[in-house]
Chains A and B, each alone.
Chain A
Amino acid sequence: MLIFTCPCCGERADETELSPGGEAHIERQSVESSDEAFEGYLFIRENPRGVHFERWRHAYGCGKWFNAARCTVTLEVFGTYPAQTMRPPQDLLDHISQRRPGWTWRDLA
């Protein structure tokens, strides 16, 4: 039973208040995209052992989507941040580097 702090309303939200939304920072591909790019958008996902960036919705709270950085092995939560961004905030990336030196995720490190 995970706990995330919702960056929108500030509540520490129990997992039962949240709905999961899969991987974060996936760029929408549409009519002009190649088959390969569109397949990547719909189906190809990271499956990391360690640092991961995910989308969650505070569905039974404020209703807002947010992103979370989490360790898939220990379930350590590195931080949460609003969904309205293309890239995790730098201070979060720095914090992850401190906790997991040498980590990588897609093109982040």
Chain B
Amino acid sequence: MSTRLATGGRLIDRKRPVEFTFNGRRMRGFAGDTLASALLGAGQSLVGRSFKYHRPRGIVASGAEEPNALVNLGKGPRFEPNQRATTQELYAGLSATSQNHWPSLDFDVGAINAALSRFLPAGFYYKMFMHPRSFWKHVYEPFIRQSAGLGKAPKDADPDTYEHFYAHVDLLVVGGGIAGLQAALQAGRAGKRVLLVEQTAHWGGRAVTDGARIDGTSADEWVKSAVQALEHMENVTLRTRCMGAGVYDHGYVTAYERLTDHLSETEGPRHRLWRIRTEHTVVATGALERPLSFAGNDIPGVMLASAVRDYITDWAVSPGDRTVVVTNNDDAYRTALAIHEAGLQVAAIVDARPAPEGALVTRARELGLPVLTGKGIAKVKGGKQVEGVAICAQAGEGSVLQEIPCDCVAMSGGWSPVVHLWSHTGGKLIWDAERAFFRPDPDRPPLGADGGAAVTCIGAANGHLRTGEILSDAQAALERLSGEAGAVPAAEDPDEGAMLPVWMMPQGAKLELRRKMWLDYQNDVKVTDVQLAAQEGYESVEHTKRYTTLGMATDQGKLSNINGLATLAQALGEDIPQVGTTTFRPPYTPISMGSIAGEARGELFQPIRKTPIHDWHEAQGAYWEPVGHWRRPYCFPRQGESHEEAVAREVKNTRQGLGLLDASTLGKIIVKGPDAGRFMDMLYTNMMSTLKPGRCRYGLMCSENGFLSDDGVVARIDEETWLCHTTTGGADRIHAHMEEFLQTEWWDWKVYTANVTEQWAQIGVVGPKSRAVLEKLGGMDLSADTFKFMDWQDGTLGGFPVRVFRISFSGELSFEVATPAGQGRALWDALLEAGAEFGVMPYGTEALHIMRAEKGFIMIGDETDGTVIPQDLGLDWAISKKKDDYIGKRAQDRSHMTDPGRWKLVGLETTDGSVIPDGSYAVAEGTNANGQRNTQGRVTSTYHSPTLDRGIAMGLVLHGPDRMGEVIEFNKVDGTTVAAKIVSPVFFDPDGEKQNV
């Protein structure tokens, strides 16, 4: 049983008790506790169930590497699963629940899986759930769904806010232990802009807990004065609760700052994602202790040795009254000494080494702590809590020599440098056989933009585990980086003996023991699973990882990876470096989705482009359609009107009276300069250089691949200036297309372009009464004789400065009136007022689409899809035969483009007047090689025409223009077909009489 000690605890404030709940039970901790230390202090050692076997799980570690103590935090919209109790600071009112169990933490039905564990080995998904096939849907999948996943996803939108923060520094130091502090001191003194981040709330790391001595004083004092010195440097920024999350190319690093997770009452952003550009990154992330693989090493009460002394020293929590320390190195003796100093009992120190003899070992012996050498743990006894251990010879197969009652096991299999950040962008590792860990290979660092090292590891992250070495390594590295010399703090370290690599305990353990040795606690991967994978032919560590799920849990194998690959190496009979490691990927520990999104939520996720008339549409209750980044009104439904009814009304009113269209989103690009005409002839398939000032021409633009890319009306403004209208979504793309050719191909041509789309509001004034309403506003001569179809002119209407284009996309008499954007809304209002007597109504994009389809006008994105050339659409009239070249011309000469079998544009009229379904194909006789029905065409646009009161469509059909009057079948979703007659695509007013008035 764990409990709170009466004295000590350097991080807790006993004067400030803090109430919290776990599984609804009220508990009490102290300010400065983590949730883990508070739970242990309150006697709660069982905190969860494992993923696969639902085994009881207790707290193993004291920091970010914790695999077991994952809890649900918060309630309602702030509910969050899979939060590590070891990194969650306690605050008043914290509410945590355990996860992955049913019906309760103490009694769990899923634990039956543990009894079946022999039948759930590595890769059991792939083996078990294959046959019979019909079982998948009704038996296997529901079972897997039920048991899969740790925790439950929150159901409501996250009410908290998050932010991104950009920083540019000379040096980023990740890790606020003594190495990181020393590095920041040296760089700060050399005048570098330094950012130092520490993932916990405290500076100094292990050195303080372990009572190291630096410069003749305690590490605690040294750290305090170092932080004080750094705080006084203006060029140094310090952040606690800020984790270096990921290192990316060219000095881009992300850090994850938890701003309010430790507070009851919060204000402002919860998390901040730092997006850092640094000239160099110093990684001082320390090292993590490894578990040992012995039978029953997952039973609650078995903990890392370092965690045991952390809980005692930092939080005055006793993980148990009687502790067995099991180790292969000297460092775990620090734990034994800490237990002893706290007045608790060390039942035994079980040392796998035959003859340990460091200073710490001597000290333990002097204090009378029982040291068993050359021994290991055969197995741990207990279920939901450790009850004792059986001791065996490490060299043997597990015959029990004696049993020792205890309620806690502190294990240490050695330490592994935290090399994650070094490895994120390709820093390589070397295997240090003597100390049995991978450490950064200084000759193969991750590289920066200049080809030099971008990252330097220092201290324990660089493989130095002793205080003196850590400080001198940090100092030497920073002198190299800063080019300035400084002093190394002096440290006192006890002599330590060599460690002995131990990958299994005992080394020759029998199957029944190996079956109970856990490698990955969270994902329930055991020594036997990895051995089975090797036996089944898995040689690559990456494949073994995926087959067994080793290291694939939320802790990403921080404790299990080295033990797992050492087990694999042994099973394969290879050396550890030959097997290698899996890939380290960011982030170091999970970061919140909210922090990744930052401010980009809701309205800010993708800001909407608005026309000058947008607010009027909104006030009218427009039904919106997204077009590019714009919102355009699809239609303006009136009270009780369906969208279809509104669209039909808008079409009829425009055809019979007067419609207004907000066409401001239309792209408007100025092309100007002495060589502009030449350039226009290259951009468009038509001849644009011959267009006369004052006139307009419809034009087509293709890609170099020949495919139709955009269309629109071009107006020649003066000798040197053209105004190109593009599609709503195409303005930026076409402007970039123009600039690409001007800058990278014809850079000696004197041409300038400007995208002036948002400088103008543009209003389509459409319908038989359009001239009348504009004449009523007054100021220009708009008569048919002086202002012809495809003319444009500048002038004034109703006092507004305007540029009027007499063009039509509806087939009606129509004027597009452009005015400076700032006056767009006023002009719109004036037109509505003046148009009232003519029955003016605004119309939306659907009415626009229907009217253009009734006239057989193509729409980019409907009739085109990136595989259609202008010739397919019967637009040969818009392709100049006189020009030597235009963008796309050569491509259109290719044999496939001139193939007479290309599908061509026609109109389609259903024989029953119905509307052909969107996306429908024209079926043909027979089937293709895949057994699919042959096709001979497809629908590109299909509508109900309110004008003709019937279904109309356009489509691309094999030899279509030669088959006028023929009836072909189009497929429907229900499997039947609909018959349609091939007709001209111009359904309405084929002679254009309506617009020539």
Instruction: Give residues in A with beta carbon < 8 Å to B.
Output: 1-3, 14, 19, 21, 28-31, 33, 35, 38, 41-42, 55, 57, 59, 63-65, 71, 74-77, 83-84, 99
Contacts and interface: CB of A to CB of B under 8 A. Distances in A.
B705 A75 contact: no
A38 to B, nearest CB: 6
Contact of B249 (A19, A35, A55, A75): A75
Contacts of A2: 249-250, 449
Contacts of A28: 704, 745
B248 A75 contact: no
- The 7 tightest CB contacts between A and B, nearest first, are A76-B451, A1-B252, A84-B747, A65-B743, A3-B250, A74-B447, A83-B744
Nearest to B747: A84
Given A14-B277, A75-B449, A84 B743 contact: yes
A31 B884 contact: yes
B252 A83 contact: no
A84 B749 CA distance: 12
Contacts of A57: 736, 739-740
A3 B890 contact: no
Contacts of B893: 31
A38 B897 CA distance: 14
Contacts of A21: 740, 744
Nearest to A24: B744
Contacts of A41: 704
A47 to B, nearest CB: 20
Contacts of B449: 2-3, 75-77
A71 to B, nearest CB: 8
A63 B705 CA distance: 24
Given A33-B890, A77-B449, A1 B249 contact: yes
A74 B446 CA distance: 8
8 contacts: A3-B250, A3-B449, A14-B277, A30-B889, A35-B894, A57-B740, A83-B747, A99-B451
B56 interface: no
B165 to A, nearest CB: 15
B250 A83 contact: no
B536 interface: no
B866 to A, nearest CB: 14
Contacts, number: 68
Contacts of A74: 447, 451
A59 B740 CA distance: 11
A3 B279 CA distance: 12
Contacts of B744: 21, 55, 65, 83-84
Interface string B445-467: 00101110000000000000000
A11 to B, nearest CB: 13
A63 B251 CA distance: 24
B704 A42 contact: yes
B250 A30 contact: no
B891 A38 contact: yes
Contacts of B740: 21, 57, 65
B450 A3 contact: no
B352 to A, nearest CB: 42
A88 B430 CA distance: 39
A64 B744 CA distance: 10
B251 A76 contact: no
Contacts of B277: 3, 14
Interface of B: 248-252, 277, 447, 449-451, 704-705, 736, 739-740, 743-745, 747, 884-885, 889-891, 893-894
Nearest to A100: B451
A28 B250 CA distance: 33
Contacts of A1: 248-250, 252
A3 B705 contact: no
Nearest to B742: A65
Most buried by B among A14, A64, A71, A75: A75
B736 A59 contact: yes
Given A1-B252, A14-B252, A38-B894, 12 more contacts: A1-B249, A28-B704, A30-B889, A31-B884, A42-B891, A55-B744, A57-B740, A59-B736, A75-B250, A75-B447, A84-B743, A99-B451
Given A3-B449, A76-B450, A31 B747 contact: no
Most buried by B among A1, A14, A35: A1
Nearest to A8: B743
B343 to A, nearest CB: 53
A83 B748 CA distance: 12
A77 B447 CA distance: 11
A64 B743 contact: yes
A38 B885 CA distance: 14
Contacts of A14: 252, 277
A31 B885 contact: yes
A14 to B, nearest CB: 7
Contact of B251 (A3, A30, A55): A3
A63 B739 CA distance: 9
Contacts of A64: 743
Contacts of B248: 1
B444 to A, nearest CB: 11
Most buried by A among B248, B447, B451, B747: B451
A76 B449 CA distance: 5
A84 B740 CA distance: 11
A30 B886 CA distance: 9
Contacts of A83: 743-744, 747
A94 to B, nearest CB: 15
B451 A31 contact: no
A3 B889 CA distance: 37
A42 B884 contact: no
A62 B744 CA distance: 15
Contacts of B704: 28, 41-42
A1 B885 CA distance: 39
A30 to B, nearest CB: 5
Contacts of B736: 19, 57, 59
B706 to A, nearest CB: 10
A55 B740 CA distance: 10
Nearest to B748: A84
Contacts of B451: 71, 74, 76, 99
A84 B744 CA distance: 6
A2 B705 CA distance: 30
A42 B251 contact: no
A91 B277 CA distance: 28
B606 to A, nearest CB: 15
Nearest to A85: B747
A33 B250 CA distance: 41
Contact of A31 (B447, B745, B890): B890
Most buried by A among B449, B705, B736: B449
A21 to B, nearest CB: 7
Most buried by B among A33, A42, A64, A99: A42
Nearest to B745: A28
Contacts of B894: 35, 38
B677 to A, nearest CB: 19
Contacts of B889: 30-31
Nearest to B703: A42
Given A76-B451, A77-B449, A42 B705 contact: yes
A76 B447 contact: yes
B16 to A, nearest CB: 43
Given A42-B704, A59-B736, A64-B743, A30 B252 contact: no
A21 B249 CA distance: 20
Contacts of B747: 83-84
A14 B252 CA distance: 9
Contacts of A76: 447, 449-451
B739 A38 contact: no
A52 to B, nearest CB: 14
Most buried by A among B739, B743, B744, B885: B744
Contacts of B251: 3
A63 B752 CA distance: 13
Contacts of A38: 890-891, 894
A30 B449 CA distance: 37
